[in-house]
Amino acid sequence: MSQISIVDLEVFYRVGVPDAERAQPQRLLLTVALESDFSAAATSDAIVDTIDYYAVTQKLLKFGEGREWKLIEKLAADIAGLILVEFKPPAVTVEVKKFIIPQARYVSVFFRSGGR
């Protein structure tokens, strides 16, 4: 298996346990690792033989529109589910970074789905 990584994609989603925290979208950073066999793409040099990371990025930028989550754990699971269904990698890992605790650089959650 090989991997495509989208690292620290800046998105603005409504997420947080208190209603006040979800009142406005907040800055999050998403890191997504898509595992797949890219040997066909390496040979053909054709986008149809790989996962279009631009399309994944565009989907993630719009994913939060009209939605909200209380927990970043649920958000990470929902992102992984979307990617598995729409882009069909054998496995995906999602990290969500949230900047809510002033004394910490960030809080993050990793969620892995698919594969073994």
CB 97 within 8 A of CB 75: no
Here the CATH number for the domain that contains residue 52 is: 3.30.1130.10
Count the domains in the chain: 1
Residue 114, pLDDT score: 87
> What is the model's pTM?
0.94
Mean pLDDT, contiguous 10-residue spans, the chain (116 residues): 95 97 97 95 95 98 97 98 97 97 97 84
Listed in order, strand segments (DSSP E) in the chain are: 2-15, 26-36, 68-69, 91-98, 107-114
The pLDDT value recorded for residue 116 is: 60
Q: What is the span of the domain harbouring residue 61?
A: 2-114
